[in-house]
Amino acid sequence: MSEWSPPIASADTPLPLREEEDVRLMLRVKEGDARAFEQLVETHQRAVIGTVMRMLNNLDDAHDVAQQVFVRVWRSAPRYEPSAKFTTWLFTITRNLVFNEMRRRGRKREVSIEAAQEEHHIEHASPQRAQPDATAEREELEAAIDRAIQSLPEKQRLAVTLRRHEDMPYEDICVILNMSLPAVKSLLFRARNDLKEKLASHLEF
């Protein structure tokens, strides 16, 4: 399958500036600039790892697939042309590798999403005291939503993950999934209805 093309940089940077910065860095990567590549990895690895983890339910596998994603970015750099957002190109590569891994595993679930999230929290968060009841209830609801998302078919799951966790616009999801805008909206509509049914016992979704 042919590679796509590119932009976004720090999560705190305004979107247009992030997109311009990603293009600038990727053009440097195209020339073999390893430091520019490191900057792109630092900027986007958390989003890639988080997305893959929500698809595979396994943090170790998420790190492995994310590494493959960025290796693919490096190897594809000589053919890079800034004709699209970097993030849509990046997540198209992510989609291909995640779907390949899911098919290789036959959708086998090795670790629950709760265990993966707890491991991720232990690695990256500072120790915290016991949570108040309201916080615990909110976290329980979030966990229930994540479990429900895990039960969706792979395209629905990825679309919901990109929309919910990456706040990605419909147009970008269309590019990543190679679907028309009406098809993506229909996909998300069906997913949302399914999630409502699964979460009927937990407040309103």
25 band by pLDDT with thresholds 50, 70 and 90:
very high
33 band by pLDDT with thresholds 50, 70 and 90:
very high
DSSP string covering 99-114:
HHHHHHHTT---S-HH
For the chain, domain boundaries: 1-124, 133-199
Q: What pLDDT score was predicted for residue 17?
A: 83
Q: What CATH class is the domain 133-199?
A: mainly alpha
Residue keyed to tokens 């990727």 = 26
User: Which residues, at least 6 apart from 19, have a Cβ–Cβ distance to it below 8 Å?
Assistant: 7, 8, 9, 85, 86, 87
Task: Tell me which H or E stretch contains 47.
Answer: helix 34-56
Q: Count the Cβ atoms, other than its own, within 10 Å of residue 33.
A: 15
Q: Per CATH, is 1-124 categorized as 2.60.120.10? A: no
CA end-to-end distance (rounded Å), the chain = 38
For the entire predicted model, the pTM comes to: 0.75
Q: Count the Cβ atoms, other than its own, within 10 Å of residue 161.
A: 23
Phi, psi of 106 (to 5 degrees): 65, 35
Task: Please report, for residues 12, 44, 47, 83, the alpha-carbon distance to residue 51 in angstroms, rounded to integers and kept in the order given.
Answer: 19, 11, 6, 24
Category of 178 on φ-ψ map: left (φ > 0), alpha (ψ -120 to 50) or beta: left
Q: What pLDDT score was predicted for residue 8?
A: 36
User: What tens digit of pLDDT does each residue of 99-132 get?
Assistant: 999 988 874 554 444 555 555 444 444 445 555 6
The rounded distance, in Å, linking the Cα atoms of 22 and 19 is: 5
Yes or no: say if 68 and 93 are a contact pair by the CB < 8 Å rule: no
Yes or no: say if 146 and 55 are a contact pair by the CB < 8 Å rule: no
More confident site: 179 or 6: 179
